[in-house]
Amino acid sequence: MNLAQLLVRAAHLNPDRPALFHGTTPTASHGDWLARAARLAGAFHAAGLVPGDRVVLFLRNHPRYLEALLGAWWAGLVVVPVNAKLHPREAQWIVNDAQARWAFVTADVAPAPFDGLERQIDIETADYDALLQAPAEPVTDRAPDDVAWLFYTSGTTGRPKGVMLSHRNLLTMGLTYFVDVDPVEARDAIVYAAPMSHGAGIYAIPHLMAGARHVVPASGGVDPAELFALAKVAGPLSMFAAPTIIKRLVDHAEATGEPGEGFKTIVYGGAPMYAADIERALRVMGPRFVQIYGQGETPMVGTALSRAHLADTAHPRHAQRIASVGVAQTPVQVRVAGPHGQDLPTGEVGEVLVRGDTVMQGYWRNPQATAAALRGGWLWTGDMGALDADGFLTLKDRSKDLIISGGSNIYPREVEEVLLTAPGVAEVAVVGAPDPEWGEVVVAFVVPQPGAALQADALDAHCLAQIARFKRPKRYAFVDTLPKNNYGKVLKTELRARLAA
């Protein structure tokens, strides 16, 4: 089935119900959205695009993002959403790699034309409106394994790779949301604060399934005051965000004394959420949170830590559970394996493997990388973790972040969890630095809370009281901020490079 059928179903049920919003302003009903998608499909086909052709989306968050997305699917095309914060040169690389024919852009994000495209349409110009004059077409048939979305990985380890996500992958992801994350009703809304080219945009699918509303903040991004104000009028409001964004929301809630009226569910994932941070989030904003763990290769679907598990403070293993990423989501199996794929006993750390209908079709034009990631029917995630007896997965670190000091394995995450509980610590990132004697030594980059005067001695004592001596940092670097990528993930490669320099 073509994902565009979801729009047909929603629009036939409730043609006049508002679907797309820019801030609080409605920009399209479900019926309008359907008409625009069907006409965009007509324009694509009239220009000679055929099913399977790639269309790049390189624009800031915008309600028309969703029109273009559904229009492309309607015509049987493959969308290539590109992170709006990439440098145009990096985006050009993706345009070339995807062999895209058209791109939809906004001028702020793509000020100059890309090379090699047949057309580049600024969605805020008359060019876009002209496309909507084309005759409407019926939805193009698609097979379940046909590619719908080429999802370029953030490329923290080399060139980005195009993850081929099929209609079946994304339909399964959408249905799973209702079971493992949150039931959605037509009265609900989702707000796109994080980039729509990534997880936040992927969550359009379950909300389209439910016939819910889609809200793009007027600012197009993350402004806690704007989001809190929107939640009050546009709620029940859900959103997806990385832990660094959650932290900003919680800071705002704490500073204003507003717990977040109107927010229904805030899904977090994409990077580690430390136990101390989620405890504070729950204390300040209440039981609005659900965690997911996934990756582009199995979008938003790996494990989930439910609202109920987060709230179950009486459980004897609550402390471990909130530091975990929860249990396997319904359509996938998750296991932890040794280097040869053998199952490891409960509690042992190995690579996390995932199998199920959300797992990608492979990497676009990259059979070598595909063969490395998909082995024996399983997706090798590159994440290291351990399962407990109840099936809760605790992530350690990417294998490349592991520190080996004096022959002992040290997982930076464990040290970071401890340092974050020390008074005056706002943020921390732990990496290994080359060392002639130990191979590597543990170094902690620490961001103090405003006004806090941190001392290495005090942090050292704090660590000694809680973790093995060999795991504690040998050095501390006090910094104002941590380098992060566009999704809010700390760039440990950059920290390691600083140390090497």
Residue 463 is classified by DSSP as H
Measured from the CB atom, the residue of 271 and 275 that comes closer to ligand AMP is 271
**Closest separation between CB of residue 320 and ligand AMP, Å?**
15
| 165 within 8 A of 202, measured Cβ to Cβ | no
28 vs 379 by CB, closer to ligand AMP: 379
Report phi then psi at 454, rounded to 5.
Answer: -90, 145
Distance CA 165, CA 161 (A): 12
The CA distance from 33 to 40, in Å, is 10
Q: How far is the CB of 198 from ligand AMP (least distance, A)?
A: 7
Q: Quote the CA–CA distance of 200 and 284 in Å, as a whole number.
A: 23
**CB half-sphere exposure, 221, CA atoms < 13 A:** 11
- Which of 27/176 has CB closer to ligand AMP? 176
Cα-based distances in Å from 495 to 176, 429, 430, 463, 489:
36, 9, 9, 21, 12
Structure tokens at 77: 């095309």
State the residues that interact with ligand AMP by CB under 6 A.
153-154, 269-272, 291, 293, 295-296, 325, 381, 383, 395, 398
Burial class (CB in 10 A: 0-12, 13-18, 19+), 83: buried
Contact call for residues 426 and 416 (beta carbons, < 8 A): no
- From the CB of 193, what's the least distance to ligand AMP, in Å? 16
Q: Which is nearer to ligand AMP, 153 or 320 (CB)?
A: 153
Based on CB atoms, which residue is closest to ligand AMP, 4 or 373?
A: 373
Instruction: Pick the closer one to ligand AMP by CB: 74 or 274.
Output: 274
- Residue identified by tokens 């932290």 is 247
364-399 residues labelled b (16+ CB within 10 A) or e (exposed): bebeebbeebbeeebbbbebbbbbeeeebbbbbbbe
- Helix, strand or coil for residue 213? strand
Q: How far is the CB of 291 from ligand AMP (least distance, A)?
A: 5
Q: By three-state DSSP, how is residue 458 classified?
A: helix
Query: For ligand AMP, which is the closer residue by CB, 271 or 447?
Result: 271
Q: How far apart are CA 225 and CA 216, in angstroms?
A: 15
Q: Are 81 and 197 in contact (CB under 8 A)?
A: yes
- In the bound state with ligand AMP, the residue whose beta carbon lies nearer, of 217 and 296, is 296
CB nearer to ligand AMP: give 36 or 413.
Answer: 413
Contact 100, 80 (CB under 8 A): yes
CB of 153 to ligand AMP, least distance (A): 6
Report the nearest approach of ligand AMP to the CB of residue 273 (Å): 6
Least separation, in Å, of the C-beta of 492 and ligand AMP? Answer: 11
Residue 213: C-alpha distances to residues 10, 35, 221 (Å):
11, 17, 18
